Amino acid sequence: MMADPAAVHVTTDQGAVSILSHRRFRFLRHVSPLPILTGFLTLCVVAMLVIVLWNIIAGGIGGLTWEFLTASPTEGMTKGGIFPAIFGTVFLVFLMTVFAIPVGVATAVFLRYYARPESKLARLVRVAVNNLAGVPSIVFGLFGLGFFIQFVGRGIDKAFYGGDLAFGQPAIIWASLTLAVLTLPVVIVTTEEAMRAIPRDYIEASYALGATRWQTIRHVVIPNSMTGILTGGILAVSRGAGEVAPIMFTGAAYYLPYLPAKLNDQFMELGYHVYVLSTQSPDVEKTLPLLYSTVLVLLLLTFALNALAVVIRMRLRLRQAG
Amino acid sequence: MSEGKSVAPHVPNMGPDWQQYSVRPGDRRRDLWMGRLISAIAFSAIAAIILIFLFIGREAAPVITSSEVHQEVTVAKMIVPLETRPGKPKMYLWQPVSETPKYSLPPLLLGSLKATLVAILFAAPFAIGAAIYSSEFAPPRIREMIKPVIEMLAGIPSVVMGFFALMVLASVLKDTFGWKFRLNATNAGIALGIAIIPVIYTVAEGALRAVPRQIREAAQALGATPWATARRVILPAAAPGIFAGVMLGLGRAIGETMIVLMASGNAAIWSPHLTDSIRTMSATIAAELAEVVNGSAHYHVLFFIGALLFLLTFLVNSLGELYVGRLRRRLTGVSG
């Protein structure tokens, strides 16, 4: 399809076509080889990633001990471990997936198998999903406070607790619900992509056997898109675990002497812990090694999840191709 | 066969399996209800957008409507310069917790603008360059390696990027250029730029790849080299998509919070210099909302800023989507 690679560096203009030649790009005629320039820019992007990763790995690897991962912070968070933050993060993203995956999968099923593809309704849902993906994370934080805590939480308190404060305050359930709304687009898009890859024959065969639409979805669509749903869930978890702005006022705590056990408990979280330690610590020099190790744990967690999603997707593609 | 118990092949299996998958009267009813349930759940994305709009609006509205809030602040007072002491020049001031609270929005808008500007100027060349390289020039093996690099860059949580900018980048930049402030607009903007490179790259690369193969092959059939093809044919065809990528990157940069909160210095200064500290709209909300009294004027002002931020990103993202649509029409129009 392409000419031989040696031709890449030929810069003569002879024979060039101008069916779409554009005055905005005319200046490029005088630029010396585009491949070298763009290749160099690509290399710079790689270098940025390497520098950031190298800095954090080199700074954090020394403090990454078993004790660090399993102990609580001590001495005003200048010593000790980060276990409560790890526990809180895992609890938080687990609750988040419980909310986000069923809703996301149902929406994807609706878009693919219930709505007519070009219907107004389907288009409206798609526009909403797109817009939701573009809302800044801090706005989700405001939404969580204004809607989940002030409206839903206060409402529950008034109805069931006689106005006593139980749910009308920052808590892990509100933080995870806020994150679920934030990660919903990820789940929807990934699931729908997997459903698009299911051969039409399967669906038609199921209908031909007399199965209802719901039976087809339950026994054909969902099992066949399980990897996609899993990938969506993992990507959502990886995104959710790294977000700090939406949980700052909806449930994350500066420091807690206990682990969250109830849905209306507050919790410590890795990303928030990084923010707190690096901006509000009285002695940053002293906490820096600890801080680096915390950042490394957070980074490893999100990267491991992303890598897992990539591997699952690759195997899915291979299976489809083969 | 060898076990002797096998069923003759021509007898259809009418066992429990058959019953499980056949349609019984109850299945029709269940089908109907599950259909309704799924359709109802599908509305949650629409509901979420509407609720975000409503509930941020509900908490922001008192800034415009409530006379109680007006004793402390009005929209007009948030826009015009304020008098500090008689005889002194009027200034823009963001001092929400002073004796007479002052809520000037211009310094915050300027802060967001400066950080975003630096981020785009930094990110766009690298992201677009890398997109052109990987879609037009890179050998397949290298192209396969660029993708995970970009994905990893996108996977770095913003608080980690903020940490890096705060602890490492700020010192390096200050020592190199001898700036007065460690934490400033340029420092935050560069970190923000690294964070939005994947957004711009992904959209731009998608646009370049979406240029139909026929156009590429037609150009080459006419004798154009790959590099002439890229420059004269592919780039102009994909231009709206590349622009859309920049817009979507811009949308991300305006709303990004943790990086600017940690790396920008958070001082609301009305100054044109990119080496002064800034306080952005997003960072202001993040830094102040936790300590504010529910229902106070300050609280409503922060929601008001959130509403502005929501509308601003909505506009920028819509513009980006518009150009994605334009690209699609242009490419399908050309190939058809």
Tell whether A223 lies on the interface with B, counting CB pairs under 8 A: no
Which pLDDT does position A192 carry in this prediction? 92
Quick one: tokens of B66? Answer: 């409530």
Tell whether A6 lies on the interface with B, counting CB pairs under 8 A: no
Say if residue A208's pLDDT is above 50.
yes
For B23, the closest chain A residue by CA position comes to A211
Q: What are phi and psi of B81, to 5 degrees?
A: -65, 150
Of B196, B213, B209, B208, whose CA–CA distance to B242 is shortest? B208
Q: What is the crossing angle of helices B44-60 and A172-196, to 10°?
A: 140
Say if residue B336's pLDDT is above 60.
no
Whether A18 sits inside 8 A of B232 (CB atoms) is yes
Alpha-carbon distance of A50 to B240, in angstroms, equals: 31
Alpha-carbon distance of B77 to B64, in angstroms, equals: 11
Look at residue A181 and tell me if it is in a domain.
yes
**Element spanning B162, H or E:** helix B158-164
Look at residue A118 and tell me if it is in a domain.
yes
Whether B215 sits inside 8 A of A211 (CB atoms) is no
Look at residue A9 and tell me if it is in a domain.
no
Which pLDDT does position B35 carry in this prediction? 92
Q: Which CATH superfamily is domain B102-335 in?
A: MetI-like (1.10.3720.10)
Of B113, B93, B75, B24, whose CA–CA distance to B301 is shortest? B75
**Residue B232: which of A17, A134, A185 has the nearest Cβ?**
A17
**Residue B227: which of A35, A106, A306 has the nearest Cβ?**
A35
Length of chain B as a residue count: 336
Distance from the Cα of A127 to chain B's closest Cα (Å) equals 8
Of A224, A188, A191, A192, whose CA–CA distance to A206 is shortest? A224
Which pLDDT does position A162 carry in this prediction? 84
- CATH number, residue A237: 1.10.3720.10
Whether B59 sits inside 8 A of A142 (CB atoms) is yes
Whether B133 sits inside 8 A of A303 (CB atoms) is no
Q: What are phi and psi of B40, to 5 degrees?
A: -65, -45
Alpha-carbon distance of B61 to B297, in angstroms, equals: 11
Of B242, B136, B224, whose CA–CA distance to A36 is shortest? B136
Interface of A with B in 77-106 (CB under 8 A): 102-103, 106
Which is it for the CA torsion A254, A258, A259, A264, positive or negative? negative
> How many domains does chain A contain in total?
1
pTM score of the predicted model: 0.86
Average pLDDT over residues A206-235: 90
Look at residue A128 and tell me if it is in a domain.
yes
- What are the residues whose beta carbons fall under 8 Å from the beta carbon of B176, sequence distance 6 or more? none
Say if residue A318's pLDDT is above 90.
no
Quick one: tokens of B228? Answer: 């002439």
Task: With beta carbons under 8 A apart, name residues in chain A contacting B235.
Answer: 22, 25, 28
- Percent of the residues in chain A that have a pLDDT greater than 70, as a whole number: 89
Quick one: tokens of B103? Answer: 């809520």
Task: With beta carbons under 8 A apart, name residues in chain A contacting B317.
Answer: 130-131, 134
**Residue B163: which of A12, A38, A295 has the nearest Cβ?**
A295
Whether A310 sits inside 8 A of B151 (CB atoms) is yes
Quick one: tokens of A181? Answer: 């709304």
Task: With beta carbons under 8 A apart, name residues in chain A contacting B224.
Answer: 15-17
Alpha-carbon distance of B152 to B145, in angstroms, equals: 11
Q: Is the ipTM of this complex over 0.90?
A: no
Length of chain A as a residue count: 322
| C-beta neighbour count of B210 within 10 angstroms | 16
* Domain ranges within chain B, ordered by starting residue: 102-335
Distance from the Cα of A201 to chain B's closest Cα (Å) equals 18
Task: With beta carbons under 8 A apart, name residues in chain B contacting A2.
Answer: 220, 226
Say if residue A140's pLDDT is above 50.
yes
Question: Pairing relation of β-strands A79-80 and B94-95?
Answer: unpaired
Say if residue B159's pLDDT is above 50.
yes
How many beta-carbon pairs under 8 angstroms link A with B? Answer: 329
Which pLDDT does position A309 carry in this prediction? 84
Average pLDDT over residues B38-56: 94
Which pLDDT does position B116 carry in this prediction? 96
Which pLDDT does position B20 carry in this prediction? 55
Which is it for the CA torsion B14, B15, B19, B21, positive or negative? negative
Look at residue A3 and tell me if it is in a domain.
no
Of B198, B71, B224, whose CA–CA distance to B136 is shortest? B224
Look at residue A15 and tell me if it is in a domain.
no
Tell whether A316 lies on the interface with B, counting CB pairs under 8 A: no
Alpha-carbon distance of A177 to A165, in angstroms, equals: 19
Average pLDDT over residues B134-153: 89
Alpha-carbon distance of B288 to B232, in angstroms, equals: 51
**Residue A128: which of B49, B127, B258 has the nearest Cβ?**
B49
Task: With beta carbons under 8 A apart, name residues in chain B contacting A111.
Answer: 42
For B42, the closest chain A residue by CA position comes to A107
Average pLDDT over residues B325-332: 80
Query: Within its chain, how far is the Cα of A195 from the centroid?
Result: 20
Alpha-carbon distance of B323 to B203, in angstroms, equals: 11
Query: Within its chain, how far is the Cα of B278 from the centroid?
Result: 20
Tell whether A188 lies on the interface with B, counting CB pairs under 8 A: yes
Domain that holds residue A262: 60-321
Asked whether A134 and B251 are in contact (CB, 8 A), the reply is yes
If phi over 0 gives left and psi between -120 and 50 gives alpha, with beta otherwise, what is residue B58? alpha
Residue A36's pLDDT band, with cuts at 50, 70 and 90, is: confident
- Percent of the residues in chain B that have a pLDDT greater than 90, as a whole number: 53
Q: Choosing among B49, B217, B296, which should be mutated to test the A contact, i.e. which has the most A CBs within 10 A? A: B49
Of A193, A249, A257, whose CA–CA distance to A225 is shortest? A193
Interface of A with B in 34-53 (CB under 8 A): 34-35, 37-42, 44-46, 48-49, 52-53
Which pLDDT does position B3 carry in this prediction? 45
Q: Is B268 helix (H, G, I), strand (E, B) or coil?
A: coil
Say if residue A293's pLDDT is above 60.
yes
Look at residue A315 and tell me if it is in a domain.
yes
**Amino acid letter, A153:** G
DSSP B201-212: HHHHHHHHHHS-
Residue A319's pLDDT band, with cuts at 50, 70 and 90, is: confident
Look at residue A17 and tell me if it is in a domain.
no
Q: Kindly state the greatest CA–CA separation across chain B.
A: 109
Distances (CA, A) of A217 to A36, A189, A222: 51, 18, 6
Say if residue A290's pLDDT is above 50.
yes
**Residue A49: which of B149, B248, B285 has the nearest Cβ?**
B149
Beta strands in B10-104 (DSSP E): 94-95, 102-103
